[in-house]
Amino acid sequence: MKVLTLHPVENHYHLVHPEEFHHLTADDSALAVFTDFKKHIPQSVMYDLPAIHAESQMRKAHVRMQVVVDHDGELVGAISLNDLGEQNFIQAFQQEGLKRDEVRVKDLMIPKNKLQTLDYSELSNANIQNILDTLQQNYQQHCLVTDSSQGQIRGLISAADIARRLHIAIEIEKPTSFYDICMAIRH
């Protein structure tokens, strides 16, 4: 029997992460920045959860977008921190007559039938720059990826993940809304 020698952890040791070993460029395969739901459990939230709780959970977990699921675990939509913004709560108050703590995720989410996705087969032939261009052109911080050949919601692309992996700033601005203009004038 061979017994190995145990050593103390030195103060200068650094905890490594997989992305440290593969420097990416915009020319690399888009699959390098794809969160594959076959390998990673999707960040999800229940559709009937109070929206204020979903916002709190997302901020604590440093997550900017989650898929919204029903009680069977099936996708019914998606919600981002932008969707949980004050403007959308105000609209729910006015349109539905709800109090702040009565607003549910389902009241603010983007429903499944309104989500735009990329197809996995197209993604597998794209590079990271193609993805960045697509996200910026469509004002999307996130994009679900579907596999039409299998009828699956396969994964997710995140502009924040790409920025982190490429060590660059990525600006994706949504078009200015009438509400944004009114709020700017008020302040």
**Predicted confidence (pLDDT) per residue in 52-91, tens digit:** 999 999 999 999 999 999 999 999 999 999 999 888 888 8
30 neighbors 157 (Cβ within 8 angstroms): yes
Single pTM value for the model: 0.77
Strand intervals (E) in 86-151: 110-111, 117-119, 142-147
Neighbours of 161 (CB within 10 A): 17
The upper half-sphere exposure of residue 180, i.e. CA atoms within 13 Å in the direction of its Cβ, equals 7
**Predicted confidence (pLDDT) per residue in 115-168, tens digit:** 999 999 999 999 999 999 999 999 999 999 999 999 999 999 999 999 988 888
d(CA 108, CA 151): 26
**Predicted confidence (pLDDT) per residue in 16-29, tens digit:** 776 666 678 999 99
d(CA 26, CA 23): 10
Domains defined for the chain, CATH in brackets: 24-173 (3.10.580.10)
